[in-house]
Structure 1
Amino acid sequence: MSDDDAAVSRATMALRAAEAGAAVAASSFRTELAVEEKGTKTDVVTQVDRDAQETVIETIREEFPDDPVVGEEDDALKDVPESGPAWIVDPIDGTNNYVDGTRAFGTAVAAVADGGPVGAATVCPALSDTYRVGPDGAFLNGEPLSVSDCDDPEAATVCPTFWWDFDQRDQYAAATREVVERFGDMRRFGCAQLELAMVATGALEGAMTNMAINPWDSLAGVRLIREAGGVVTDLEGNRWRHDSTGLVASNGAIHDELLAAARAIED
């Protein structure tokens, strides 16, 4: 199989696996859930997260039984292999939203090769939205994606994404300050993969954090943005990788201002 054919096959599987996991999540949405804390009061998990991840992995294993899987929950790998193929899984990104009955959650699956995504999908079942990306481009519900053409920061809408824990709320406050002082408006949806996907669609002009962001919260969305014409860097302005510190994602036209905002969080 050629590299191109392999990329198509893996992108197709990413979509199929994300749809399978999202179906599990959707079946229990807005039902009574037993909620556990993983580490903090804002980092929670349900059995549905675990069941959805198991379903995603089982689906992938049907065609790629030997590939490593990096996943958010339980005993799955937590680090992206630097060589060879692998799969990155977030069974329910936005679990707090899911628990609260808020529709902004999704199942994200990325296929990677040598540490970089070659195809991915984020399926948001309660929004009836499916984002996918592969060798043929980036799409929302089958329609091609393109980032916003807004080049005026004062007209741009930006999201301070990911999450600052209680011992870092000064940084969260600083991120918010930088956004409201530099840009036209601010949004935050509590689902990093959805927020990144919205940059790819042009619904947001940018999303940023100064923190290291988990691969399951980011790789699918990063690939969507780049394929849609956007830019994703670290805090130094270098091309973002799964092990970068900070994530600055934009339509490209406002990137310098967004990068300055992200750098100013810890000043």
Structure 2
Amino acid sequence: MESLENFFRTLLEEAGRRAMSYFLRTTHEIKRDGSPVTAADKAVQEYLVAAIMRKFPQDGIIAEEDEVLRSPRQGSRYWTIDPIDGTVSFMAGMASWGIAVGLIEESVPVAGFIYLPATKDLFYSTGTQVWRNSHPRLLTTDRSLHRNTILLTHARPHQRYTLRKSFPGRVLCLGTASAHLSLVATGGAHVVLIGHDKVWDLAPGYAMLSVNGGVLRYLDGTDCDLSVLLDGRSAPLPMLGGPASLVEETLSHLDYWAIPNVVV
């Protein structure tokens, strides 16, 4: 029987080839929520939904475009699909966009696959280890912030937070929540700050983070609970992810203003 790893490696590589056929040569529309969508988003999602439904006909699916939500026919498993996470980066010709698929069971993220076609990087976990391509990876071993700490953030932190001057590290944004989570889960970065994202942005990287002992916590200190996001709603609060000690310390340098109706 084909392993989950091999199935999704093949699936995402083909999805990546399809996405790359639109790269630097596509137009976009604006969705009701104000975010852009391209023909690549729609084509890749159609391909992934069809393939996953054939392979796992009893499972549910939650996909970003056109609000696809199919409840499980049996059991509690949902596959989440973000066909192009980082559509703005994709449109800008940057390499940091990705294709993200997650598996949620009993409201817990248990597997995740994130493929960056422009760099051919595959981050994944099926529940026991976390891999970047063919190499097993762990969280950073740092347990306190320092001048080379990397905090990855979403695109509009200036509209919601004050990061105090006392924060000693660097702040970067790649424009892709799933890539941010996977980089923290595999030790390439230290902490990630995520806005009011949705389950398809969170599940794949959250699964990897959890396997490696990391946390994903709302700014009120509670753990991110995917059960309340299975209907496609936005997360109620921004969140920090990474080793628990770094998340707690980063939070002490961050002031959050609850401003409604700001697209993140």
Query: Once the two structures are aligned, what percentage of the paired residues are identical?
Result: 23
Q: 1:231 deviation in Å?
A: 2.0
**Matched residues in 2 for 1:104 and 1:236: separation?**
29
Other structure's SS at 1:109 match: strand
Alignment of 1:21 with 2:10, yes or no, is no
Q: 1:238 deviation in Å?
A: 2.4
Matching of residues 30-41 of structure 1 within 5 Å: 30=24, 32-39=25-32
Higher helix share: 1
Q: 1:14 deviation in Å?
A: 4.6
Q: Which residue of 2 aligns with 1:189?
A: 174
| TM-score relative to the length of structure 2 | 0.83
Task: Tell whether the 8 Å contact from 1:97 to 1:190 is kept in structure 2 after alignment.
Answer: yes
Which deviates the most, 70-79 or 231-240? 70-79
Q: Which residue of 1 aligns with 2:225?
A: 241
**Matched residues in 1 for 2:171 and 2:120: separation?**
24
| TM-score relative to the length of structure 1 | 0.83
Q: Which residue of 1 aligns with 2:103?
A: 111
Task: Tell whether the 8 Å contact from 2:113 to 2:122 is kept in structure 1 after alignment.
Answer: yes
What is the CA deviation profile of residues 39-71 of structure 1, one whole-angstrom value per residue up to 9, with x for unaligned ones?
466x21111100000111111122212322101
For structure 2, list consecutive stretches of 5 or more residues without a partner in the other structure: 230-234, 259-264
What is the CA deviation profile of residues 183-240 of structure 1, one whole-angstrom value per residue up to 9, with x for unaligned ones?
311111101110111101222110113x432111111111111222322222232222
Matching of residues 245-264 of structure 1 within 5 Å: 245-262=237-254, 264=255
Relative to structure 1, the CA distance from residue 12 to residue 69 in structure 2 (aligned partners, 3 Å threshold; closer, same or farther) is: farther
Other structure's SS at 2:69 match: coil
The alignment yields a C-alpha RMSD, in angstroms, of: 2.7
**Matched residues in 2 for 1:231 and 1:80: separation?**
27
What is the CA deviation profile of residues 239-260 of structure 1, one whole-angstrom value per residue up to 9, with x for unaligned ones?
2222453221013331211233
Relative to structure 1, the CA distance from residue 80 to residue 62 in structure 2 (aligned partners, 3 Å threshold; closer, same or farther) is: closer
Q: Which residue of 2 aligns with 1:170?
A: 159
Alignment of 1:221 with 2:205, yes or no, is yes
Q: Which runs of 4+ in 1 moved over 3 A?
A: 8-20, 78-81
Higher strand share: 2
Relative to structure 1, the CA distance from residue 112 to residue 179 in structure 2 (aligned partners, 3 Å threshold; closer, same or farther) is: farther
**Matched residues in 1 for 2:7 and 2:253: separation?**
37
